[in-house]
Structure 1
């Protein structure tokens, strides 16, 4: 199943949710981006106005997970919720707000989503948890203090791992393992080092982590691009089972454009991963 990250923005869902025309929708996205630029880091997906298009529903595991939304005991944790686009998509697909928890480092992006991006839409009434899960338990135990441990049937982590160091990605996935119920599923994506032939891709560091004054973010620390092999090994080593990691290469002009963003260290694309507790 092709991901949407390498294709033109698909604003049909966003237009349906907001009642805007496509032209007005792009204006709304631009306004949200400029509001973000005032105080927050503008990630690549924000700069290119990709945040009005849901991501979670493009994952191969989503259709199976969506079938459980009608189950009154089925709970979902969305990590890196940003503006709340995926949260709203899952709710529109039948997930009860009371069964959804959204989380990010802080509320600033989500607040812009509520007041600017989705202005005029009903607010998201899901449980909200703000804090850093990409740290060891001994540093900040967000999971325990917010009653997240063994609380979720599914955890969504879309387009997150590539903004971490290797150690942060390991800590983050370990925290997710704690959050899942037995047999619960993690499904996610990340920008990755991929192979263009039979030679295995090599994981590598790339550009520095944006700090913006955030705690636990050291100036100059380099982010990490996993390969299929490195992510499979990491998930398995953390105790996940049924680990599936698939590559999806970027095609054409998009791939050429994005190489510069990732330090020209070799072919890049997406990893689509899922794993169970």
Structure 2
């Protein structure tokens, strides 16, 4: 396991780890604990659950600035797993009371408390449930994130249902941001000896437009999945929700 300096800095500042060796032992223990329940996602098997992967995204500075300047900046991370990105946001200055993580697995959320040793002082609210059946949040969100979520869906209908639900949770002018593995065009390819469905970049752009998102920005970065000639890539996106006004619709 290679622990990057940025990862170590998060655990040093938030938890108090004094060496990479001690952190490596802790992360190895947590990996086994996370794998006890739920699907064996590669992000857990390869220790990516422990790394704050949100910082390199082009939209990170934007959402962090909004959190520090807006008066009511609720950010919801859907599919938050152990909540690593949310804790990075908090360390970097996003108000803890305005951060919410949603995941279907209470086990992952509980492991997050063990991972960051903050059972009694975590400033972030975590909720267990399925966003398609959960009640709406108490107030519309300023930002909704779906990191490493869309590539877990298996059809266009599921992606459409996800975006449709998100606009119910998001305030006008709010941001929908995320990052996932994608293809240029929607399709199914063999990956790690199984057929895997990926929603295409252009189809996502069109879908966001259909749900009244504007200022859609996308960025593609290499996807290292250890498969030669793989056409997949990481797709980061940021879009602003701009629903038509009632007067426009009438």
Q: TM-score, normalised by structure 2?
A: 0.83
Q: Secondary structure at the match of 2:55?
A: helix
Aligned to 2:97: 98
Deviation at 1:275, TM superposition (A): 0.8
Matches within 5 A, 1:243-258: 243-250=216-223, 254-255=224-225, 257=226
Q: Structure 2 residue aligned with 1:204, among 187, 211, 218?
A: 187
Which of residues 39, 42, 58 is equivalent to 2:40?
42
Aligned-residue CA RMSD (Å): 2.5
CA distance in 1, matches of 2:98, 2:117: 23
Partner of 2:247: none
Counterpart position of 1:162: 151
Match of 1:198 in 2: none
Gaps of 5+ in 2: 242-250
Which stretch has the larger CA shift, 82-91 or 67-76? 67-76
Cα distance between partner residues in 2 of 1:173 and 1:52: 27
| Alpha-carbon shift at residue 241 of structure 1 (Å) | 1.7
Match of 1:196 in 2: none
Aligned equivalents of 1:181 and 1:105: distance in 2?
23
Structure 1 match to 2:7: 11
Aligned counterpart, 1:236: 209
Give the drift of 1:206: 5.2
Give the distance between the partners of 1:204 and 1:160, measured in 2 at CA.
Answer: 17
Tell me how far 1:143 sits from its aligned partner. Answer: 4.0
Q: Identify the match of residue 147 of structure 1 among 135, 138, 147.
A: 138
2:248 alignment counterpart? none
Cα distance change, pair 60–172 in 1 and its aligned pair in 2 (3 A): same
Counterpart contact for 2:220–2:236, Cα < 8 Å: yes
In the other structure, the counterpart of 1:192 is 182
2:49 is paired with a residue whose SS is coil
Residues of 1 paired with 2:118 and 2:214: CA distance?
42
Q: Secondary structure at the match of 1:276?
A: strand
TM-score w.r.t. structure 1 length?
Answer: 0.75
Partner SS state of residue 48, structure 2: coil
Q: Deviations over 1:133-191 (max 9, x none)?
A: 2x4xxxx2x243x435xx11111211110011222222112111111111001111001
How many aligned positions are there? 233
